[in-house]
């Protein structure tokens, strides 16, 4: 379910059918397909039959400082999902489990206020303990993505891209390329070795506005009585614009603050993932 107050009771973050998602991604040229739903692996039921599909997840985690963040975990099994969910409020335990199982873990939308407030200790942990950084998010503004890329450069982190698509219109428009990978195993090894390149489109105002309208339309198809609230749709562009202004302020503040801290000599070790 979506996290917007009130709507969280009735509206989902995505209404995509897994098979339609897979077919759309293949038409758009993806050699391999993965799905990173929030704290869910339900898509695996329909997609496990495809040899070019592998399972991943975006896990909502609680940091030691008490804040919330989204971690991308790639190439998991169904039993890994159970453990990740069990440990998601103990991030240090989750990362230890991922290291034991050789799971590649990224910090997603690094400079976004999507998951709420952030602390200096959070960014120290992201730099020290996470294997990679999502530096090209298909719903995040180019400036914020660039700041995430700068962070990854400073700490020599593998960089990945993902569509963060909640409607079919933008799936496969942002992705990760591992040159010469011939199968899933080689692709995942490429992530671990950092021979991966994020590619495709950044987010923008029109793209996110269209996605919100699309989700709203799907909501009304599923729950026709929601048409009574359709007048609220007129406010969507203003809400999206306000959100992006907030995002830019958040990204600028934390990017500059963390760059200054690093220049001042913040000690940070780089995390490693076993091959």
CATH number for the domain that contains residue 69: 3.20.20.140
User: What residue numbers bound the domain in which 110 lies?
Assistant: 7-263
Looking at the domain assignment, is residue 275 inside a domain?
no
Looking at the domain assignment, is residue 238 inside a domain?
yes
pLDDT per residue, tens digit, the chain (275 aa), is 776 666 667 777 777 899 999 999 999 999 999 999 999 999 999 999 999 999 999 999 999 999 999 999 999 999 999 999 999 999 999 999 999 999 999 999 999 998 999 999 999 999 999 999 999 999 999 999 999 999 999 999 999 999 998 889 899 999 999 999 999 999 999 999 999 999 999 998 888 888 877 877 777 787 887 777 777 778 888 888 888 899 999 999 988 887 665 655 555 544 545 44
Name the domain count of the chain.
Answer: 1
Looking at the domain assignment, is residue 214 inside a domain?
yes
pLDDT of residue 264: 52
Looking at the domain assignment, is residue 230 inside a domain?
yes
Looking at the domain assignment, is residue 270 inside a domain?
no
Looking at the domain assignment, is residue 211 inside a domain?
yes
Looking at the domain assignment, is residue 255 inside a domain?
yes
How does DSSP assign the chain, residue by residue? ---STTGGGT--S----HHHHHHHHHHTT-SSEEE--BT--TTHHHHTT-TTEEEEEEEEEE-TTS-EEEEEEES--HHHHHHHHHHTTSHHHHHHHHHHTT-EEEE-STT--TT----HHHHHHHHHH-SEEEEEETTSBHHHHHHHHHHHHHTT--EEEE---SSGGGTTSEEEE-TT--SHHHHHHHHHHT--EEEE--B-HHHHHHHHHHHHHHHHHH-GGGGGGGGGGGGHHHHHHHHHHHHHHHHHHHHHHHHHHHHTT---PPP----
Looking at the domain assignment, is residue 156 inside a domain?
yes
pLDDT of residue 206: 86
């Amino acid at each position: 379910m979506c996290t917007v107050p009130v709507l969280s009771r009735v509206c989902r973050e995505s209404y995509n059918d897994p098979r339609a998602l897979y077919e759309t991604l293949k038409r758009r040229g993806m050699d391999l397909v993965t799905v990173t739903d929030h704290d869910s692996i339900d898509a695996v039921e329909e997609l496990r039959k495809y040899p070019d599909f592998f399972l991943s997840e975006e896990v909502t985690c609680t940091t030691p400082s008490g804040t919330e963040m989204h971690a991308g975990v790639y190439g998991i099994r169904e039993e890994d999902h159970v453990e990740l969910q069990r440990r998601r409020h103990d991030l240090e335990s989750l990362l230890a489990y991922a290291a034991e199982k050789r799971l590649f873990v990224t910090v997603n939308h690094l400079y976004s206020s999507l998951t709420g407030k952030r602390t200096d200790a959070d960014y120290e942990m992201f730099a020290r303990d996470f294997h990679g950084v999502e530096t090209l998010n298909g719903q995040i503004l180019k400036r914020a993505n660039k700041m995430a890329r700068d962070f990854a450069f400073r700490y020599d982190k593998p960089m990945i891209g993902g569509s963060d698509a909640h409607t079919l219109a933008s799936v496969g428009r942002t992705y990760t390329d591992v040159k010469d990978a011939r199968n899933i195993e080689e692709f995942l090894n490429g992530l671990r070795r950092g021979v991966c390149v994020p590619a495709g489109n950044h987010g923008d105002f029109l793209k996110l506005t269209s996605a919100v309208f699309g989700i709203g339309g799907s909501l009304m198809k599923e729950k026709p009585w929601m048409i009574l609230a359709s007048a609220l749709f007129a406010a969507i562009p203003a809400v999206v614009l306000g959100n992006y202004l907030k995002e830019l302020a958040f990204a600028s503040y934390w990017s500059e603050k963390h760059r200054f801290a690093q220049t001042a000599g913040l000690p940070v070790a780089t995390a490693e993932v076993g091959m």
